């Protein structure tokens, strides 16, 4: 983790998110894509099986609602199915798919945030300001020793702070710090230049730092 990131939030955030991060790239994706483009639709089922968990975790952390995240991922895979014939491999399949997931989540974001606000108003918000949505929580069934050592309290603090930073900041933080995308992959997934990615990430880290001040000593 770079020095700049350490001054903005606990370095343990990358440990907190490590369980959601899959391999940097899956070499067999290209083979499955080629099979699908040649008419083997079963190859797409393998791509879904390979990427659905991480796609769901991404959608859930961006939207904060399980039902909407599930629907968003289903719609994203449907769009991917329809568009894969035209996919030319300028980016990795995983990166291309993540961009679709993010675009679909943006369509769901307003509805999801309004739903979360209504739920929070009608329930005990656990010390949050009235109307603030509860942050999403994704439980890892087999956390590693470093993640276990981090402790539930800090993980919860980061989750609360992550939800408070706003949708645009949350997108880039989830993709960079939790899913481990590099700048070029982020540029593809977010459909913007690398320079814009870097400035957006800098602002997002600052926003997360400020949000942590309210929930972590």
Residue with tokens 């370095």: 11
- From first to last of its 217 residues, what are the pLDDT tens digits of the chain? 343 333 333 343 443 444 344 444 456 799 999 999 999 999 999 999 999 999 999 999 888 888 889 999 999 999 999 999 999 988 999 999 999 999 999 988 777 566 666 665 665 554 444 444 444 444 444 455 555 545 677 777 777 788 788 888 999 999 998 889 999 999 999 999 999 999 999 999 999 888 888 666 6
- What's the pLDDT score for residue 214? 65
- What's the pLDDT score for residue 163? 79
Token pair belonging to 170: 């949350």
Domains in the chain, start-ordered, CATH in brackets?
3-213 (1.10.1740.10)
- Closest CA relative to residue 162, chosen from 154, 148, 178, 173: 173
- What's the pLDDT score for residue 178? 86
CA 93/CA 29 separation, integer angstroms? 7
CA 136/CA 126 separation, integer angstroms? 14
CA 215/CA 80 separation, integer angstroms? 38
């Amino acid at each position: 983790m770079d020095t700049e990131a350490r001054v903005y939030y606990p370095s343990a955030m990358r440990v907190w998110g490590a369980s959601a991060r899959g391999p940097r790239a899956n070499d067999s994706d290209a083979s499955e894509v080629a099979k699908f483009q040649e008419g083997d639709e079963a190859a797409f089922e393998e791509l879904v099986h390979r990427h659905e968990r991480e796609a769901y975790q991404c959608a859930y952390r961006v939207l904060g609602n399980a039902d909407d995240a599930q629907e968003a991922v289903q719609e994203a895979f449907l769009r991917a199915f329809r568009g894969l014939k035209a996919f030319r491999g300028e980016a990795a399949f995983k990166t291309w798919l993540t961009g679709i997931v993010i675009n679909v989540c943006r369509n769901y974001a307003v509805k999801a945030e309004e739903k979360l606000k209504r739920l929070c108003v009608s329930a005990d918000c656990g010390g949050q300001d009235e109307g603030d949505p509860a942050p999403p929580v994704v439980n890892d069934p087999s956390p590693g020793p470093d993640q276990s050592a981090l402790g539930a309290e800090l993980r919860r603090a980061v989750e609360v702070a992550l939800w408070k930073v706003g949708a645009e900041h949350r997108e880039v933080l989830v993709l960079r710090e939790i899913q481990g995308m590099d700048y070029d992959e982020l540029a593809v997934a977010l459909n913007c230049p690398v320079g814009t990615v870097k400035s957006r990430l800098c602002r997002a880290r600052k926003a997360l730092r400020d949000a942590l001040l309210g929930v972590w000593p």
